[in-house]
Amino acid sequence: MDLNYSSEELAFRDEVRSWLEENLPVELSKKVADYEHLSKDDLLRWHKILAKKGWVAPAWPKEWGGTGWNVVQRYLFEEELGYAGSPPLIPFGLSMCAPVLLRFGSDAQKQRFLPRIYQGEDFWCQGYSEPGSGSDLASLKTKAVRNGDHYVVNGQKIWTTLAHYADWIFCLVRTDQSGEKRQEGISFLLMDMKTPGITVRPLILMDGAHEVNEVFFDDVKVPVENLVHDEGKGWTVAKYLLGHERMNTGRIGESKRQLAKLKEFSAAKMGDFRFRDRLTRLEVELQALEITNLRFLDRMRRTGQPPGADVSMLKIRGTEIQQGLTELMMQAADPAAHDEFSSAIRKKYLSTRKTTIYAGSNEIQRNIIAKMTLGL
């Protein structure tokens, strides 16, 4: 096992870092640093800057606009984005739907959707969770009944991130209820959000932000050509997609930036040995997470295989560290202050409460590790 970067990889990291210093718009990085709201225009502006550079989809095959970078270079790139404080690249199109299309999609689906995802012409969202079917996703109830050359979809999705921005949604739907296992009879559909019968209703979170939504489907007609993979085989697609999603939830570069910022504005708290001890522990845990991530990268580099079930470790520890950092920020900030920065810290703290729930709750991730990795 080799957990060290080569001289070529270090040179690549320096190249990315220098480019970001010159090309990341100051007004966007300031919004990220101050925990301000990022509009759809902000998100797409940064997306299109990276698309013009040819760096918006590093993991895609080169014939579709990928960079040809190896797994270590892609990891370094993602961490440099986080450390520089760039706006997030919304994953639903780039790193969730696109890998699914590349693996399971038809040639017509690839030709239709991939170039528009790459250029930021279509904004995507994910239709997985439902009321009563979040971590237990196999219990979903949204139905799709085939009628000639289209499906008729009825049901509801919830916690749908940025659905109010989205042009398209990829959804898990139930097309057959006769299977012995709940995972059977689930299909993967692509739906145009402008289709009659789709209604988006906002859910305002406790930080006051409109980030997630409810999405309702009432007799929504979806062309059969928008079915990805075989009918009833959507669970296979879902598992493939979730492996990609959980690999990216550690957010080590972003946590490093948050840690540096926390040290900067909590200098007055360093005399409190309990605060200092917790801060030091978090820093050590972040270093351990980075080493664990490097172990996964080394395995992927050697075998060429995607991450397995044990990648859930990154999701668990990464999100817990993110929460720990915001908890210390709250301790370091004046809780009675009404200035913009203190208000932003409070919003960041509240927003980060959800990280241990999305992409499959951490409790579910522990069950996955126990069953798939430890054999319990």
Going by their DSSP bridges, the two strands 124-127 and 210-223 should be labelled as unpaired
Apex 58 CA angle, 56 and 64, nearest 5: 85
Name the range with the highest mean pLDDT among 39-48, 199-208, 343-352. Answer: 39-48
- How far apart CA 270 and CA 282 sit, in angstroms, is 14
- How far apart CA 240 and CA 303 sit, in angstroms, is 17
Contact present, 369 and 309 (Cβ < 8 Å)? yes
- How far apart CA 220 and CA 145 sit, in angstroms, is 10
Helix (H, G, I), strand (E, B) or coil at 155: strand
**Structure tokens that stand for 114 in this block:** 């991939």
Could you give the domains of the chain?
Answer: 7-89 (no CATH), 124-233 (2.40.110.10), 249-373 (1.20.140.10)
* pLDDT > 70 in the chain, percent: 95
- pLDDT class for 187, splitting at 50, 70, 90? very high
Residue 1 predicted with pLDDT over 60: no
Can you give the pLDDT at residue 310? 74
Residue 195 predicted with pLDDT over 80: yes
Residue of higher predicted confidence among 241 and 80? 80
46-55, 145-154, 242-251, 303-312: range with lowest mean pLDDT:
242-251
Residue with tokens 């009432």: 218
Cα of 301 vs its chain's centroid, Å: 22
Span 325-349, average pLDDT: 83
The answer to whether 214 is a known catalytic residue is no
Going by their DSSP bridges, the two strands 124-127 and 198-204 should be labelled as unpaired
Can you give the pLDDT at residue 245? 56
Residue type for position 203:
L
CA atoms within 13 A of residue 93's CA, in its CB half-sphere: 28
12-26, 47-61, 355-369: range with lowest mean pLDDT:
355-369
In the chain, what is the greatest distance between 2 CA atoms, to the nearest angstrom?
71
Residue 2 predicted with pLDDT over 70: no
**Structure tokens that stand for 106 in this block:** 């038809």
Contact present, 95 and 248 (Cβ < 8 Å)? yes
- Reported as a single tens digit per residue, the pLDDT across 57-106 is 999 999 999 999 988 898 899 999 999 999 999 999 999 999 999 999 99
245, 283, 327, 340: the catalytic one is 245
- How far apart CA 265 and CA 281 sit, in angstroms, is 18
Residue 247 predicted with pLDDT over 60: no
